Amino acid sequence: MKDLNEVISELSQSSNKIERRRPRRTSRSITSGGKRSRERTLSPQERLQRFETAVQQQVVSLPADTKHIRMIPLGGLGEVGRNMMALEYGDDIMVIDAGLRFPEEDMPGIDFIIPNTKYLEERVDRIRGIVFTHGHYDHIGALPYVVEKLGYPPLYASPLTRGILLKRQEEFKTSKKVDITDVRDGDSVKLGAFTVNFFHVNHNIPDDLALYIETPMGYIIHTSDFKFDPDPVNDKPADLNYIKELGDKGVLLLMSDSTDAEEEGTSISERTILENLETIFKESDKKIVAATFGSLLNRVQQLIMLAEKYGRKVIVEGYTMTTNLEIAKELGYVRLPKGLLVPAKDISKYKPEEILIICTGAQGERNAALMRIANKEHRFIRLDKGDSIIFSSSVIPGNERSVQMLKDALFRQNVKVYHYKMMDIHAGGHAKRADLRKMIELTRPKFFLPVHGQFSMLVNHSWLAQEMGVPEENIVVAENGQVLNLNKEEFFITKETVPANYVMVDGLGVGDVGQIVLRDRQMMAQDGMFVVITAVDSRSGKVRGNPDIISRGFVYLRESQELLKDVRKMVRRIVEESTSYEAVDWAYVKNNIRDDLGQFLFQKTKRRPMVLPVIIEV
């Protein structure tokens, strides 16, 4: 059995081989598009032609602003996820991230929500590039849906983030192949008026890069999602001295992660998580099933290390986790010894104490691996008395009920369940208040903008910045769609707004499900649907036969004969009264049926189904 420290030492040596970090003084500079190029100045005739085209498209094209940097949050403010920020100076626009978020409970049928990029679509010729901070879907997931609309701008990402993006892009058909330039800690990229310098910070996925942006007005720091971990596993700590050096140069604006701004203390070190997970491995004499997020690769690496030490074979279940693990292994970010990984179909070849299953589904997702295992729906994996189930993740707000149902299903099978409230087996990837104070202390910004979080998180982060000495008038708490102006002397929200509403993805449809469709789905989900089909004589206006009725999710027809009898009488009366004129307006007839019948059904049942009248002229 290998000593755990030996395994960690081998992993660190492996990581150093692929790191290829350059000294900051000799960092490479990459121009927009991934190669050296010079921006061409547009002629007056070309500028006039561009303006005329904008007018024809009914786009208001304001003169280029060189007195301020315009900052336009298209997502990520007042919400967790859907992160996207545009910075604009003169004729140059750079974009930070393009993420998605998952639907809320009142959005039936919606797969994802992405930012509204209409503002950028109208200015595609001015987009100098999109930079991605790390590989979580709330920062990269919208790219396949927007890259074509944005004119395939130059894209920049760290190796792991690039690998995840390219793998995801394979699932989408676009007219042009996406090209992503590889950037690393210490690299810089020239994007028009902006020079973006990348530096390493810790998160719960490798290759997380914060941004130090040189602008004509001063230096801007974007922290990415981050936390300070002095003793990480499968990673190196952030260089605090370097961040302090940036602060010494003078930081005009700090944009800082706010997700855990309401949580006191510091984030738990991944080393502590590893030690607690090892305790479970020592005590377990049966199967171990560890559920976590598909993108939490540092945690997956910890579990693989423990499986190697304690002589367990590893089964990985879950499409996202399997895909990310393959990418990370190819790039050298995850060390997976040969022969350690086995397919689920071979589980019967090993004793229970020789198996570790790493899977997705810790949030109680219906079709995820852990839920299928708990419901005995998995083809090969069955739980036995005494097995250990590890929830190595926190519960995302809104998922509490589904997670509790999952736990109940597991406990009914007499297994041991471990979760983060019992012991420290999960640490979030976001800085808590002590780390947020440290970031402000190191950078000492003149202006401050909290990003990435619900509105309450942004406000609490702004209060914390005031505690750290940033004047209240120098702090802006903004919302998506507002336009912010920044220069050396002032930072404020303008009266201008841009579209930043939800764009909903449903299957292959992007943006075709709006509020009206969503409202109809909510209504049907809540009170059902009631369809009345009536055949009407086109000459006499009389109803022929009895109206047919279809009910879905409202009442069971066989048990509601009296109600249906009353409905048929009412429909017959409404139609014949509404067609007593020579010229019949059938839209008017259907509206009368919908309104009167809806009111009648509410009086009888106190429910409001969607009433759909259908009239057939015969």
340: three-class secondary structure by DSSP: coil
Cβ atoms of residues 155 and 132 within 8 Å: yes
Sequential DSSP letters for 570-616: HHHHHHHHHT-SSS--HHHHHHHHHHHHHHHHHHHHS--PEEEEEEE
Instruction: Give the number of other Cβ atoms within 10 Å of residue 45's Cβ.
Output: 8
Residues facing residue 547 across a β-bridge? none
| 544-546-551 Cα angle (round to 5) | 135
Query: 257, 260, 435, 506: which is the annotated catalytic residue?
Result: 257
Q: What are the C-alpha distances in Å from 97 to residues 15, 29, 140, 399?
A: 26, 20, 6, 26
481 is written with which tokens? 């769609």
Considering Cα of 200, then 203, then 206, then 209, what sign does the dihedral take? negative
Question: Is residue 524 classed as helix, strand or coil in its secondary structure?
Answer: helix
Picking from 367, 376, 363, 371, the residue whose alpha carbon sits closest to that of residue 403 is 363
Six-digit token pair at 478? Answer: 């903004």
Give the Cα separation of 567 and 547 in Å (integer). 9
**DSSP per-residue codes, 221-279:** EE--S-B--SS-SSS----HHHHHHHHHH-EEEEEEE-TTTT--S-PPPHHHHHHHHHH
Nearest partner of 106 among 519, 504, 505, 530, judged by Cα: 519
Burial of residue 321 (number of CB atoms within 10 Å: 0-12, 13-18, 19+): buried
Mark 112-139 as b/e (b = at least 16 C-beta within 10 Å). Answer: bbbbbbbbbebbeebbbbbbbbbbbbbb
Asked about 430 being catalytic, the answer comes back as: yes
Strand, helix or coil for residue 367: coil
Give me the numbers of helices (H) and strands (E) for the chain, helices first please.
17, 26
**165 C-beta neighbours (distance < 10 Å), count:** 22
Angle at which helix 4-19 crosses helix 297-309, to 10 degrees, equals: 140
Residue 614 to residue 617: CA distance in whole angstroms: 10
Q: Say which residues have a Cβ less than 8 Å from residue 274's Cβ, sequence separation at least 6.
A: 4, 233, 302, 305, 306
Identify which of 512, 516, 612, 515 has the alpha carbon closest to the alpha carbon of residue 571.
Answer: 612
Q: Which of 136, 200, 426, 430 is catalytic?
A: 430
Query: For residues 145 and 167, what is the distance between their CA atoms, to the nearest angstrom?
Result: 14
Q: What is the set of active-site residues?
A: 257, 430
